[in-house]
Amino acid sequence: MLSPNLTLPISKCSFPPGPRSPQVIQALTWALRPHHYLRTCQRKFGDLFTLRLEIGLGAPPCVFIADPEVALRLIREPTLTLAGDLRDSNAMLFGKHSVLLADGADHLRQRRALLPAFQGSRLSAQRQAIIDGTDRAIDSWPLQQEFSILDSLHRVALEGIVGAVFGSYEAVPPTEIARQVENFIGPFSNRGASIALALALPSSVRTAISRRPLARRRRAMDAAILEEVKARRAAGNLPENSDVLSDLLIAAQDPSNGITTELICDEVRTLLLTGHGSTANSLAWTIVHLAENPASLERLTTEVRSERGGLRYAEAAVSESLRLTPPLLGVQRKLTAPIETHGYLLPAQTLVAPCAYLIHRREDRYPNPDGFDPDRFLNREPDPGAWLPFGGGPRRCLGAPFARLQLHTMLARICERTRFRALHPGYQEASRRQGLSLAPAAGGRVILTERVAR
Ligand code: HEM
């Protein structure tokens, strides 16, 4: 299905078909109605199609891939593609040393330093803090009137990632770090900015637009991170801690790891920024799907309120929601060598986009693909070949175990302490861009009909 063709003459290269509309129309439709656009293109052109999303002369086309086998090969085979290289224009956000922008050996080394903090036993220590944060959110929701759940979910998810990255503090309280993150990322979350982010402007334009205001807010956030770094080094009790920042500071003590203070700051900032928006949006989608499907919601509520308080149905509901509405539509890579697939010869440097959203809606993998049915995942882990909300391979989302812990714990607590319903039978929400991911268009509007005291 997919063979690297290292000797391909460029004159033989060919791209899959795609819409003929002008580049600017393609880019705008992608930014404003991505779900609809992707499905229309797949119906019309098949499992591989080409979109021209970057605005500008000579901008490269991007090949979207809805064939799971081809997508997986591209995601899993690190020598076939680059990813960090594509994200240069995000350096103002994450920092040029961020794991997101690294490729090859640097990328592997950085992941090795970060991964231990996101493993099961370390994470379970966060469970009570997640429950406490969820309780504070639940207590703030109005009863018997419609409201949007998304903003308060963002706050809980942000507190959660600040807790995982910083643990306890020496100098800067977690509330101050959370405030700085909100201040930094806030302007990217409104509708206009989120659409601008999705418009694939040439990286020189993006950098020029964002440099000034971003740099000022980033300096303020970095100052807080660096103050905490300095205080922790001075306190000298790093091995007693079990948070990401302490792990990085310990790893930095060995010069052969090449972990500088600048790199620590970039990694911490990356985790704070990537580590809450998608989680909150996923949970808002899960709540919306459950409110639209009262029988599933009732089953979940009964399970978490039972004496044994199981999480099996909550886990299945989260997996199903991530299938139906993955907050990130897929991943993007740049080919390092020409490849041949589906009869097309794609040259090196081609942008390819293995598309989780389209793969998740394939009828041959998920019968009745547009229906919300947690039973698909009950008592079984999702098939990594056709369930890709966290990507896969060597760049699989670093925070996936933490995100899943947060999602399961928060959802179970919400259903344990509340009952909620959709605004009316048949109520559905479209999607809108929120930061780098997709959220329910109205922020997940529901009506709370019951709240149990803590
Ligand atoms: C439901 C929530 C989340 C979703 C759906 C999600 C999804 C993704 C996806 C699709 C990727 C791209 C993988 C690729 O390029 O192949 C990614 C990467 C990443 N995510 Fe997440 N993510 C979530 C939560 C988190 C959290 C909580 C953290 C931090 C604790 C995090 C940190 C990262 C980082 C650092 C990367 C870059 C990994 C690399 O390039 O090696 N994510 N995520």
142 CA from centroid of ligand 1 (Å): 32
Candidate from 274, 388, 436 with most ligand 1 atoms within 8 A of CB, to mutate: 274
5 CA from centroid of ligand 1 (Å): 30
Residue of 229, 240, 204, 220 whose CA lies nearest to 91? 204
For ligand 1, atom 36, name the residue with the nearest CA: 397
Half-sphere exposure of 413 (CA within 13 A, CB side): 24
Higher pLDDT, 438 or 60: 438
For ligand 1, atom 17, name the residue with the nearest CA: 397
228 CA from centroid of ligand 1 (Å): 25
280-292 residue pLDDT tens: 999 999 999 999 9
pLDDT at residue 310 in the model: 85
pLDDT at residue 253 in the model: 93
Higher pLDDT, 212 or 97: 97
20 CA from centroid of ligand 1 (Å): 33
Q: Is the pLDDT of residue 198 over 80?
A: no
101 CA from centroid of ligand 1 (Å): 13
Apex CA 44: angle with CA 40 and CA 47, to 5°? 90
Candidate from 77, 359, 397 with most ligand 1 atoms within 8 A of CB, to mutate: 397
The 8-class DSSP code of residue 308 comes to: T
For ligand 1, atom 32, name the residue with the nearest CA: 399
Q: What's the average model confidence in pLDDT over 157-163? A: 95
Supply 103's token pair.
């490729």
**pTM more than 0.85:** yes
Sheet with 339-341, strands from edge to edge, namely 2-4, 339-341, 344-346
Q: Is the pLDDT of residue 86 over 90?
A: no
pLDDT at residue 57 in the model: 62
If you average pLDDT over every residue of the chain, what do you get? 90
Q: Is the pLDDT of residue 6 over 50?
A: no
Q: Is the pLDDT of residue 2 over 80?
A: no
Candidate from 101, 153, 390, 395 with most ligand 1 atoms within 8 A of CB, to mutate: 390
For ligand 1, atom 35, name the residue with the nearest CA: 398
pLDDT at residue 12 in the model: 65
For ligand 1, atom 1, name the residue with the nearest CA: 279
Distance from C-alpha of 173 to C-alpha of 182, rounded to nearest angstrom: 15
Q: Does domain 2-451 have CATH number 1.10.630.10?
A: yes
For ligand 1, atom 7, name the residue with the nearest CA: 390
For residue 437, the ligand 1 atom closest to its alpha carbon is: 5
Half-sphere exposure of 322 (CA within 13 A, CB side): 26
Give the confidence band of 406 by pLDDT, cuts at 50, 70, 90: very high
For residue 403, the ligand 1 atom closest to its alpha carbon is: 27
Pairing of strands 418-421, 437-440: unpaired
391 CA from centroid of ligand 1 (Å): 8
291-333 residue pLDDT tens: 999 999 999 999 999 988 789 999 999 999 999 999 999 999 9
99-133 residue pLDDT tens: 999 999 999 999 988 988 888 778 888 899 999 99
Distance from C-alpha of 265 to C-alpha of 274, rounded to nearest angstrom: 14
Q: What residues does ligand 1 touch, defined as CB less than 6 Å away?
A: 75, 83, 99-100, 111, 161, 270-271, 274-275, 278-279, 282, 327-328, 331, 389-391, 395, 397-399, 402-403
pLDDT at residue 199 in the model: 72
**With pLDDT > 90 as the criterion, what percentage of the chain qualifies?**
73
pLDDT at residue 203 in the model: 61
For residue 157, the ligand 1 atom closest to its alpha carbon is: 27
Q: Is the CB of residue 431 less than 8 Å from the CB of residue 35?
A: yes
In 141-260, which ranges are continuous DSSP H helix? 150-166, 174-189, 191-198, 203-235, 244-252
25-52 residue pLDDT tens: 999 999 999 999 999 999 999 999 999 9
335-391 residue pLDDT tens: 999 999 999 999 999 999 999 999 999 999 999 999 999 999 998 999 999 999 999
259 CA from centroid of ligand 1 (Å): 21
Give residue limits of the domains in the chain.
2-451
Lowest mean pLDDT among 52-66, 368-382, 433-447: 52-66
Query: In one letter, which amino acid is 131?
Result: I
Q: Is the pLDDT of residue 13 over 90?
A: no
Residue 154's Cβ-count burial label (10 Å; 0-12, 13-18, 19+) is buried
pLDDT at residue 151 in the model: 95
Per-position DSSP letters for 29-78, written without gaps between them: HHHH-HHHHHHHHHHHH-SEEEE--B-STTPPPEEEE--HHHHHHHHH-G
44 CA from centroid of ligand 1 (Å): 31
